[in-house]
Amino acid sequence: MHPIRKQRLVLVSLTVVLSSAAIGLVAFALRDNINLFYPPADVVAGKAPTDRSIRLGGMVVEGSIERSDTDLDTTFWVTDYEASVPVRYAGILPDLFAEGEGVVAEGMLDESGMLVATQVLAKHDENYMPPEVAAALEGKTAPQEKPLLP
């Protein structure tokens, strides 16, 4: 290769490597701000601010959803399987909101540690399958709970 071209190749490589390193370091330093939400463990540990609105993300605890009979108020617990945080929300929930599914709730923490949400978003996972397959998978795990004989 011609020496001038070799020199240019080195310069081009250095440009890519150094700019990547610089942006990588910035992203690493800002990692707390790039995260969209706090996991419940961080909220319980007091790492999330209580004086401004935060986002909390995790799974809705099975059997924890309580809906009001008179208005839209809903309370549920969000967990990351290390800690759980209660959430209260008065509004329309997304279609995919369900127990055992992912959720991101935005709001302020009150004195009791409950998140008073102004917005609740459903976070779905990367699994896609036809209803029959999902039913078959359910069927495989479900019989363990049923008694073998009536």
CA distance 128 to 131: 9
> Based on the number of CB atoms within 10 Å of its own CB, is 102 exposed (0-12), middle (13-18) or buried (19 or more)?
middle
CB of 93 to another protein, least distance (A): 8
Strands 73-79 and 102-109, by their bridges, are unpaired
Q: Which is nearer to another protein, 28 or 70 (by Cβ)?
A: 28
CB of 92 to another protein, least distance (A): 8
CB of 131 to another protein, least distance (A): 5
Q: Which is nearer to another protein, 17 or 68 (by Cβ)?
A: 17
* Contact residues for another protein, defined by CB under 8 A: 5, 8-9, 11-12, 15-16, 19-20, 23-24, 27, 31, 34-39, 57, 93-97, 104, 119-135
List the beta bridge partners of residue 88: 75, 116
CA distance 107 to 88: 9
Q: Which is nearer to another protein, 67 or 124 (by Cβ)?
A: 124
Placement of tokens 């605890």 in the chain: 61
CB of 146 to another protein, least distance (A): 21
Q: Which is nearer to another protein, 88 or 123 (by Cβ)?
A: 123
Tokens of 27: 């992203």
